[in-house]
Amino acid sequence: MRSIIQKLSLLCLAFPLVVSAQTGKENYSPVALKDLSSFENSGSNWSVKGSIAIHPAKTEPAKTQSGEGTLVGNVGAAISTKFKAKDLRLYTEFMLSPGAEGNIVLPGGQRLRLADNKQKEPGALTTGFIGQFPSQNAAKAPGLWQTIELAYDASVSTVKNSGRLNSLKLNGVTILESVYLPLSKSVADPQPISFEVTKGTIAFRNIGYQLLNDRKPLSLNNLTYKLYSDSWDATTYSKLEKEAKTPSLTQEVTNGMRQFHLVYEGEMTAEEEGDYVFTTIYSGPIMTLDIDGKPVVTSGESTSQESHTGSVNLSKGTHRFKIHYSRFPWRQPALGLRVQKAGIRQYDLHILSSLPEPEPKPYIGVTPDLRPEMVRSFILLSGEKYKRTHCLSVGSPTGWSYTMDLNRGALLQAWRGQFANVTEMWYERGEPQLLEPAGLTVPVSGKSSIAVLDSDKAVWPDSANVNYLGYTLDAQGFPAIRYAVGSATVSDHITSTADAITRHIDVKGTPSGALYSLLASGKQIQLIEKGLYQVDDRYYIQIDKKTKAVLRTSGDNQELLLPVSGSASYSMFW
């Protein structure tokens, strides 16, 4: 039995976070990766594997397992897809080895840089460079899967011999928008997408594409509306002002009313069967879209023409729809509805004047230049209904930032890149009082980071019995946050260097039991080597090799705990 366990442990070390199959994204057409048959050329430097594991720091060969779903490339000839495109959207996940460099070559010959480059300021060797520097370096560390999503027009009628990168997201962060690019070759005919590796190893998986054209397979017909003058925040309506037919979708039928509720009904004609994605854009307390009696988009307050999306599968033919839109009396009315489908460029279902240019809204950011910056705010985590109200976010000049929930002693999130978007806090009334991370964010558990447990098998509490005592600043300006845990005082001191966030916990006095720190919680936590753990594809945890951490299963997740006796420390990086 002991030898079997040893073999299984070695297998986990060699192949952390094994992924054996592709999973599609939205309505992208997938590039099959069962073998190399999806590509025109297949040099010996390319292969299809079942999984890959890359050490984040060592320049050792990547470890792979046989199978399908992962395209692995080494230095050599580029590989080109059999599908050809002009205008398109492209999505892929990729993984780099330490120091790796390569490119995604788009129609027209534009090269989109992929590179392991840790410098804070973006440059020509930063992932996302395409003749123009990205707005920030939002890349992850080697060995972690990353995502790129782009929208690209291979030719622009108004600018001769130019393409246009409409948007580029790296790991969910928008780093380029509306970039015009000189073409190195003609795009009179569709061209393949190419992948090339000029240094190290680069792996790809879940490659998906949409070929875009300007067809409009869905239209609105036989529209009628009812206009109510009830108060903007009313939940039921009785003051019917007008009821009529209209040839188009627009909020202008209200003729300048300061507050109203507008209900549209009509027919939606789909010339093609398939999945349709609808986007609402509006200013007001509510806008909803129902199709065939079922909600597709339901969203609440929007102050600056925010957008909300929903998707539905429609059969070919006619479908009934209903739209409900209400106006804030203090905001310019705006009602817009857009639709897209695989292979179809997004287009408007409203008339142009129904969605006027929004009032300019400045971006207000906080940038730590010489010393760390601290901002108190509310934080709303994804998946949570209520704001965390007692939060402190800290950004450093090195580009690493984090948020603490002071009530719970919980590390909520950490990010790298630009520090804080505080527009919703400091612009006009700043009602939401929400701080938004401005860089590449990794979610942490949101649970208390420190707790007293009966044993290392006890369930970790959502909120431990800790009392916030305030904080002190070190010589660099980083806060050391103090908590009372029983009769003990705990100092939680998080700092950062150019390479990582480091957390140091000191305990004075005697807690009521064994004290632990929750280092990580995730679907899969793997031991890469002694003292180094990988948490999903989010981040790495580094602890002293002599420290004995506890890796355990908790429900559907895994948790990494660190016993704290006197003091303990660890680092996070991604």
Select the more confidently predicted residue: 527 or 213.
527
Given a cut of 50, is residue 8 above it in pLDDT? no
Give the integer Cα–Cα distance in Å for 437 and 440.
Answer: 8
pLDDT in tens, 117-127: 988 899 999 99
Given a cut of 90, is residue 429 above it in pLDDT? no
Query: Can you give the pLDDT at residue 484?
Result: 95
**What is the rounded average pLDDT of the residues 124-145?**
97
Helix (H) or strand (E) holding 269: strand 261-270
pLDDT in tens, 321-348: 999 999 999 989 999 999 999 888 899 9
Query: Can you give the pLDDT at residue 7?
Result: 37
Query: What 3-state class would DSSP assign to 478?
Result: coil
Query: What 3-state class would DSSP assign to 463?
Result: coil
DSSP-derived letter for residue 350 is B
Which domains does the chain possess? 16-211 (2.60.120.560), 218-354 (2.60.120.260), 365-573 (2.70.98)
pLDDT in tens, 67-93: 999 999 999 999 999 999 999 999 999
At 160, the pLDDT band (50, 70, 90 cuts) reads confident
CA 141 to chain centre: 16
**What is the rounded average pLDDT of the residues 148-164?**
91
At 26, the pLDDT band (50, 70, 90 cuts) reads low
Give the integer Cα–Cα distance in Å for 10 and 393.
Answer: 39
What six digits make up the tokens of 70?
């992962």
Given a cut of 60, is residue 292 above it in pLDDT? yes
Answer for the pair 337, 350: CB distance below 8 angstroms, yes or no: yes
Q: Left if phi > 0, otherwise alpha if psi is -120 to 50, otherwise beta: which for 293?
A: left
Q: What is the pTM of this model?
A: 0.85
Select the more confidently predicted residue: 79 or 446.
79
Query: How many CB atoms are located within 10 Å of the residue 557 CB?
Result: 15
Query: What 3-state class would DSSP assign to 557?
Result: strand
What six digits make up the tokens of 104?
């995604």
Give the integer Cα–Cα distance in Å for 54 and 72.
Answer: 12
Query: Can you give the pLDDT at residue 2?
Result: 36
pLDDT in tens, 355-381: 998 877 789 999 999 999 999 999 999
Q: CB-based burial of residue 4 (10 Å sphere; 0-12 exposed, 13-18 middle, 19+ buried)?
A: exposed
Average pLDDT for the chain: 92
At 312, the pLDDT band (50, 70, 90 cuts) reads very high
User: 92 to each of 101, 166, 197, 441, 443, how far by Cα in Å?
Assistant: 16, 17, 15, 19, 21
Helix (H) or strand (E) holding 313: strand 302-314
Give the integer Cα–Cα distance in Å for 355 and 251.
Answer: 8
Q: Left if phi > 0, otherwise alpha if psi is -120 to 50, otherwise beta: which for 458?
A: beta
Radius of gyration of the chain from its Cα atoms, rounded to whole angstroms: 27
DSSP-derived letter for residue 20 is -
Answer for the pair 279, 337: CB distance below 8 angstroms, yes or no: yes
At 41, the pLDDT band (50, 70, 90 cuts) reads confident
Helix (H) or strand (E) holding 8: helix 2-14
Query: Can you give the pLDDT at residue 251?
Result: 97
pLDDT in tens, 537-560: 999 999 999 999 999 999 999 999
Helix (H) or strand (E) holding 5: helix 2-14
pLDDT in tens, 250-283: 999 999 999 999 999 999 999 999 999 999 999 9
Return all residues near 145 (Cβ < 8 A) that are at least 6 apart. 19, 93, 94, 95, 205, 537
Query: Can you give the pLDDT at residue 448?
Result: 94
Query: What 3-state class would DSSP assign to 251?
Result: helix
Give the integer Cα–Cα distance in Å for 409 and 404.
Answer: 7
Q: CB-based burial of residue 442 (10 Å sphere; 0-12 exposed, 13-18 middle, 19+ buried)?
A: buried
pLDDT in tens, 511-521: 888 999 999 99
pLDDT in tens, 454-496: 999 999 998 788 999 999 999 999 999 999 998 899 999 999 9
Given a cut of 90, is residue 4 above it in pLDDT? no
**What is the rounded average pLDDT of the residues 153-176?**
93
What six digits make up the tokens of 450?
């420190």
Given a cut of 80, is residue 227 above it in pLDDT? yes
Answer for the pair 379, 434: CB distance below 8 angstroms, yes or no: yes
Nearest one of 143, 117, 119 to 202, comparing CA atoms: 143
Given a cut of 70, is residue 138 above it in pLDDT? yes
Match 């959502």 to its residue by tokens: 462
Return all residues near 95 (Cβ < 8 A) that are at least 6 apart. 52, 54, 142, 143, 144, 145, 146, 202, 203
Match 């897809």 to its residue by tokens: 81
Strand partners, 276: 312, 341
Given a cut of 50, is residue 1 above it in pLDDT? no
Give the integer Cα–Cα distance in Å for 38 and 46.
Answer: 12
Query: Can you give the pLDDT at residue 25?
Result: 65
Query: Can you give the pLDDT at residue 120?
Result: 87
Nearest one of 109, 320, 141, 348 to 224, comparing CA atoms: 320
At 27, the pLDDT band (50, 70, 90 cuts) reads confident
Query: Can you give the pLDDT at residue 22?
Result: 46
At 527, the pLDDT band (50, 70, 90 cuts) reads very high
**What is the rounded average pLDDT of the residues 156-162?**
86
Given a cut of 50, is residue 154 above it in pLDDT? yes
In the chain, % of residues over pLDDT 90: 82
Nearest one of 309, 297, 361, 305 to 333, comparing CA atoms: 305
Nearest one of 344, 456, 292, 369 to 121, comparing CA atoms: 369
